[in-house]
Structure 1
Amino acid sequence: MRYLKSLSGVAAVTVALTGFGGSGATVAAGPAPVEQIQVVQPVAMTPVAAAVKVKYAFPVKAKNVSFHKTHAGYPATDIFAACGKPFVATTSGVVLEVSRVDKYKKGMKDGPYNGGKFVSIKGDDGVRYYGSHLSSVSKGIKKGVRVKSGQQLGKVGKTGNASNVCHVHYGISPTCKKAGDWKVRRGVVWPAKYLTSWRKGGQKSPVAAVKAYQKKKGCKA
């Protein structure tokens, strides 16, 4: 072999064929094969929303506290504690309704003023939680405000038709109209087993029970 020469990326090989009966003629090789490189475009990844983690808290902060497992007339409960003890958010969520004024008058028929001063929230789990007969509603608590699990919403009291007994009327329900639907708001799912769990630090959820109620009865109480 006499020499190897590269021209603009195309290899030309000149071979002297002497000693093989040739006359010194040259043979030019064809273009060298071009290596093909496959370029893989990065795939855009769509973020997947993490499941909302719900934390439940017992709704009254007091050492001496009790509640009934049943309630007259409809599924709810009364949580008994000294007046002035904190009433807190069952879970993180958004405030739906607030009543800072006790509009109940003795002798009134059942109606939207029964609860006196109250707060209802829509939890991040989609469930409505309602506490009434409060002595006061905490400063800054108003419709649309976001609250955290365990955050104080008000204080235990005896407003409305509380019969002069310090307690919180507590109800669990679907959000439905979110406001004004007092018959649903006051409670449609029995709370006792959830309260028992939360009081012990458990995280039993009423979501399935509320969904089952709404599937069966819609927003009728």
Structure 2
Amino acid sequence: MRVDTMRSGHITRLAVVTGAILLTGACSSPGGVAGINTEPPAPAAEAMAAEGPVTATIPPAASSQTPVEIPKGEEPVPVPPPKVSRFTYTFPVKGCSVSYQSRLLVLPKTTIWTGKGCAFVSPVDGVVHEVNDKNRWRPSTDRGRDREGRFVTIAGDDGVLYLGGHLDAITPGIAPGVRVSSGQQLGQVGNSGNARDTASNLYFAVSWKTDPSLWWVRRGMVKPWNYLNAWLKGNRTLSPADETRAVMSQTGATPRCTILCASKPTPEPTRKPRKPRDENIDIGAADPAGG
């Protein structure tokens, strides 16, 4: 009985002491339970502002590979362009700088601008077909057959006809039926024909051999600039023969003239006005009797 009373007394004193400790802790800790902070944490931005900006330098990663020295290659070996025909072609202007347009200019031909007196040469082996060494073009009539002024046509061994017009002069010895080789001079570039008011140039056209009376055919039936580009840049075997045959099969060998064929009407000759007759009468001469 005594033992139980003593135990209950100890328990009571222990409870009183514990309660006092808890009460003291609660009073010293604001807003709640002892040892637990109930105030909200400071915002992250405010914390960073309080601490200030942080800078750091990241060291470069150490390379574990040693640099490799690239060996120098050998000079490229020039490879000739593929041979696409058995014919060898030459750009029709030799020894001078040139410029020309790769687009349709009314007719499928091109104007090769170059210096006066530069050499016009045969594009391929062949035979001279036509030669006109007279500049017959006149602006008053503008006849289609005369527009190229002085010109030479070559019937190539490839079956293609080549025209070089607006020439200043024809090379001596160049005449119909004369055999010529690729690159042989046929004349000198000028501005004859209807190019008389322009800079010197070569009228260059590709077609097929016809009778000279069908002059509109020689003025151009096949676009020439793809072949000129190839010959100028080193591919001297690109041939217009296949395209020429294809165009001829579409139009026929003797097509009708449809572009720039009509000449200006020949103007009537101007007559000088008659001198008016003197209507004054010499009375003395008319009346010899004087009466």
TM score, norm. by length of structure 1: 0.73
2-structure distance, mates of 1:63, 1:133: 17
1:165 Cα deviation (Å)?
Answer: 1.7
Q: Are 2:137 and 2:143, in contact at CA under 8 Å, matched by a contact in 1? A: no
Q: 1:189 maps to what in 2? A: 222
1:181-206 CA-to-partner distances (Å, cap 9, x unmatched) read 21110101000000000001212110
Q: 1:103 maps to what in 2? A: 136
1:106 Cα deviation (Å)?
Answer: 1.8
The aligned amino acid for 2:220 is G
1:109 Cα deviation (Å)?
Answer: 3.0
Which of 165, 174, 191 pairs up with 2:208? Answer: 174
1:133 is paired with a residue of what secondary structure?
Answer: strand
Single out whichever of 107-116 and 143-152 deviates more from structure 2. Answer: 107-116
Q: Are 2:96 and 2:118, in contact at CA under 8 Å, matched by a contact in 1? A: no
1:73-92 mapped onto 2 (5 Å cutoff): 73-92=106-125
2-structure distance, mates of 1:69, 1:88: 20
Give the structure with the higher percent helix: 2
* Paired residues, number: 169
Q: 1:133 maps to what in 2? A: 166
Q: 2:279 maps to what in 1? A: none
Q: 2:30 maps to what in 1? A: none
2-structure distance, mates of 1:195, 1:101: 27
2:241 pairs with 1:207: yes
Q: 1:49 maps to what in 2? A: none
Runs (4 or more) in structure 1 with deviation over 4 Å come to none
2:146 is paired with a residue of what secondary structure?
Answer: coil
Give the structure with the higher percent strand: 1
Q: 2:148 maps to what in 1? A: 115
1-structure distance, mates of 2:140, 2:102: 27
2-structure distance, mates of 1:71, 1:135: 25
2:155 is paired with a residue of what secondary structure?
Answer: strand
1-structure distance, mates of 2:165, 2:120: 9
Q: 2:99 maps to what in 1? A: 66
For structure 1, the residue ranges without an aligned partner over 5 or more in a row are 1-51
Q: Are 1:57 and 1:201, in contact at CA under 8 Å, matched by a contact in 2? A: no
Single out whichever of 201-210 and 126-135 deviates more from structure 2. Answer: 201-210
Q: Percent identity?
A: 39
Which of 47, 57, 66 pairs up with 2:90? Answer: 57
**Aligned-residue CA RMSD (Å):** 1.4
For structure 2, the residue ranges without an aligned partner over 5 or more in a row are 1-84, 258-291
Q: 1:159 maps to what in 2? A: 192
Q: Are 2:191 and 2:198, in contact at CA under 8 Å, matched by a contact in 1? A: yes
Q: 1:44 maps to what in 2? A: none
2-structure distance, mates of 1:144, 1:93: 9
1-structure distance, mates of 2:143, 2:133: 19
Q: Are 2:96 and 2:115, in contact at CA under 8 Å, matched by a contact in 1? A: no
TM score, norm. by length of structure 2: 0.56
Q: Are 2:109 and 2:219, in contact at CA under 8 Å, matched by a contact in 1? A: yes
2-structure distance, mates of 1:110, 1:76: 18
1:72 Cα deviation (Å)?
Answer: 2.5
1:183 is paired with a residue of what secondary structure?
Answer: helix
2:129 is paired with a residue of what secondary structure?
Answer: strand
